[in-house]
Amino acid sequence: MRLQEDEVRIGDIRAVVIGPVGGGSFPGVLLYTDIFQLTESTLRSARRLASAGFVVCVPEIYPRGELAGVALEFDDAGKARGLAGAASMSAAQFDADRVAVLDFLERRADVSSLLVTGFCIGGHLAFRAAFDARVAATVCFYPTGLHNGALGSDVADSLERAAEIRGRLMVVFGSRDPHVPARARLETVGALYAAGLDDVELHVFQGGEHAFMRDVGARHDPVLTDLAFAEAVSFFRGR
């Protein structure tokens, strides 16, 4: 499938929109990056998703300040800057930016419905985006901080608000993820069930490390990546 890729501004937010060429309308996906922002690795993931028949919008998660317009390197310095960027944002700021991006997607003539996904911190942001009643389905890839509320500059109330989710939810973990170990996964799943979300689709990929879908570095697992993408696309299509 041929794709068109455009850089857009959504208020203060720089974003990349990738979608099929040739007209028609498709489900729109808000895709949240990890702490490194709009890297080529994340854009490759967005292109892969778009090629399955989606309009994918990938916004910067730190759209203001010194990291605006910056794609960070996958090294210690980049990690430190990305974590500092996260610490500069409150949950309320993340939420406000999410509303702006969903509003943007909803207004597009080529978007038929709203979906959300994200990786790492973006998985947590995707979970919070699911609070929006317009979101039909959400896929969270190895979301960090859900079990303890770690998100940005404050303690987020994400799991406490899980009952607000009305759309379908899928959560993907790696079994060897030190950021979301077995105990954290158990706490997360228990909280979801306690909130009444007993129809959540959960995947724990054996041997998957944190960021196993990032196609840069030793932690990348191409086989698990293919499986996770296939499950996500099938889930978004409603099986």
Catalytic residue among 120, 132, 140, 147: 120
Catalytic residue among 34, 132, 177, 221: 177
Which among 124, 203, 210, 221 is annotated as catalytic? 210
**Residue 57 bears catalytic tag:** no
Residue 92 burial (CB count, 10 A): 12
Given a contact cutoff of 8 angstroms between Cβ atoms, the answer to whether 55 and 111 are in contact is yes
Catalytic residue status for 210: yes
- Please count the other Cβ atoms lying within 10 Å of the Cβ belonging to residue 19: 25
User: Which amino acids are annotated catalytic?
Assistant: 120, 177, 210
